[in-house]
Amino acid sequence: MRFIGALVVWIIIGIIAYFVVAYTGAYAVGADVPHWGITRQAIGFLRDHTTEKRAADIRPPPLDDPALVKEGAEHYAQMCTECHLAPGMTGSELREGLYPRPPNLTRFAPDPAESFWIIKHGLKMTAMPAWGKTHDDHKIWAMVAFLQKQPKMSVAEYRALTANATRMEGMEKEQAPAPAGTAMLPPASSIY
Ligand code: HEC
């Protein structure tokens, strides 16, 4: 009984503390102030173990097919580079202000099954979107196939693969028709 009484008191203290912090504006919700070390570790631990567990039953298909890699490169060029960079890119204004900072996927090849899960479902409380709402599994595997090759890809190879990918293609369904006389954005390949 005593234990339950103490627990209830702590829960009430916790709830009061929550409202005090919220109403006084004491918590740094801005993306330009890093988490405390312990908060960052707790979130990282939860994310790593949860994605590992949820991806445990995912069996990647063969990812070496050059056509699949090319298709993935095109999707990647359209939707991912502002956050995750690409061969030949050194930074972007969007990525600079994000917290957590998206990993630079030109530097390492992420685990295929876990990447598939993360690309499909996104990650809450980060800027990583759930692409499964707009892309089928085949397209997501194509991006995973590309991610396996990207760290060893030269700028010239990347540009050749994405020469036909335009930045706007991925968003074409959401696009309102451009007013007469306005130019479309240039193809991704001419931007960097
Ligand atoms: C608006 C920014 C943004 C966009 C656009 C974005 N991502 Fe992410 N992505 C993130 C962030 C932020 C993380 C890391 C979250 C974290 O630290 O927990 C992430 C994580 C990932 C990871 C996990 C990497 C690892 O460490 O294992 C993969 C894979 C990934 N993204 C792929 C993609 C792909 C493919 C696309 C395009 C279809 C994409 N992302 C578009 C922000 C973005």
Measure the CA–CA gap between 38 and 44, rounded to whole angstroms: 10
Ligand 1 center from residue 186 Cα (angstroms): 24
Q: For ligand 1, pick from 80, 119, 124, 128 the residue to mutate: most ligand atoms within 8 Å of CB.
A: 128
Atom of ligand 1 nearest to the CA of 111: 27
Residue 84 contacts residue 103 (beta carbons within 8 Å): yes
Beta carbons within 10 angstroms of residue 158's beta carbon:
24
CA distances to 18, 27, 33, 99, 124 from 30, in Å: 18, 9, 6, 9, 16
- Please report the pLDDT score of residue 185 as a whole number: 53
Structure tokens at 94: 């969007």
CA geometry: angle at 139 spanning 44 and 102, to 5°? 30
Residue from 109, 130, 134 nearest 120 by CA = 130
Residues 156-188: tens digit of each pLDDT = 999 999 998 865 444 444 455 555 655 555 555
> By mean pLDDT, which of 85-94, 118-127, 139-148, 157-166 is the weakest?
157-166
Ligand 1 pocket member 123 (CB < 6 A) = yes
Atom of ligand 1 nearest to the CA of 114: 27
Residues 40-60: tens digit of each pLDDT = 999 999 999 999 999 999 999
- Please report the pLDDT score of residue 171 as a whole number: 47
- Taking CA atoms only, the protein residue closest to ligand 1 atom 28 is 115
Ligand 1 pocket member 73 (CB < 6 A) = no
151 preceded by a cis bond (ω within 30 of 0): no
Residue 41 contacts residue 104 (beta carbons within 8 Å): no
87 preceded by a cis bond (ω within 30 of 0): no
Residues 64-117: tens digit of each pLDDT = 999 999 999 999 999 999 999 999 999 999 999 999 999 999 999 999 999 999
**How many residues are given for the chain?**
192
Residue from 70, 72, 76, 75 nearest 89 by CA = 76
